[in-house]
Amino acid sequence: MQLLDIIIVLCRPAESGNVGAVCRAMKNMGLSRLRIVAPEAPLIEEQIRARAVHAGDVWEQAEHFATLQEAVADCPLVIGTTRRRGKKRKNLSMTPEEVAEFCFSRPGPAALVFGNERTGLDADEIALCNLASHIPVDEAFPSLNLSHAVQIYTYVLHRYFTSHELKDIPGTWKPVSQDEIERLVQTITNSLASIGFYKQAGRDLQERFFRDLFARAGITREEQMYLEGIFKKMSKLAEMNGSAYSEQSS
């Protein structure tokens, strides 16, 4: 993908100054696609423009969404930035350099998601991301200002994308969107549910696993159809065989 394929998504931003500084940090490095999800406080035009300086166009063209899910629906790949690690967090967390390398080698677009200034991304927001990324910091004071975190990512992305020759990505690799991945995952887990797969809880975790796996792999529509076919056929066969398969559980 190219730099312009990377969409910066701000979840619940609270400070207008930060939003303006993000616009500047993006444009300084050749990015321009900004999406804003449910600001925590009203965004004040004047404060945004004062900090955006000559990046007012990034703000004017920003898209606004009520939920993160809607903001990333059309993105094949969603990367969540977080410094915290925990039970509900992704295990795999890339550095900014790894994000740049990963994005560079696949088709776009990709969403790079940043959380609220105080809280970062919450568990539900992270669950909507296919990959996690963190900025290596000094542990004495690990909390970066939002726009400075965006600046580090945009700098690293700009450096990587402008110093590497864009490979001729064959036009046949067109990863499907989050929406389509979600449909595929539902088809799979519905099929599994129909044969009594989920005796205990666990469907949620499995759906997230499949979703992230497919997004990271950048599966195409053809592959999506193929997978749907497999699981539909599987559940039909199970049905024909009566109760034989329903004994199995996760």
- Site residues, a second copy (CB under 8 A): 21, 24-25, 27-30, 51, 53-55, 97, 135-138, 140-145, 147-148, 151-152, 155, 158-159, 162
Cβ proximity to a second copy, 135 vs 217, nearer residue: 135
Cβ at position 220, least distance to a second copy in Å = 32
The SS3 of residue 63 is strand
Residue 32 near residue 7, CB atoms below 8 Å: no
At CA 124, angle to CA 123 and CA 126, rounded to 5?
Answer: 65
Cβ at position 40, least distance to a second copy in Å = 18
Cβ at position 132, least distance to a second copy in Å = 18
Cβ proximity to a second copy, 152 vs 234, nearer residue: 152
Cβ proximity to a second copy, 23 vs 215, nearer residue: 23
Residue 227 to residue 221: CA distance in whole angstroms? 10
Cβ proximity to a second copy, 83 vs 211, nearer residue: 83
Residue 190 to residue 207: CA distance in whole angstroms? 10
Residue 9 to residue 197: CA distance in whole angstroms? 36
Cβ at position 162, least distance to a second copy in Å = 7
Cβ at position 146, least distance to a second copy in Å = 11
Cβ proximity to a second copy, 53 vs 230, nearer residue: 53
Cβ at position 20, least distance to a second copy in Å = 10
Residue 126 to residue 100: CA distance in whole angstroms? 19
Q: Pick from 56, 203, 73: which is nearest to 128 by CA? A: 73
Alpha helices in 111-177 (DSSP H): 123-127, 146-163
Cβ proximity to a second copy, 6 vs 127, nearer residue: 6
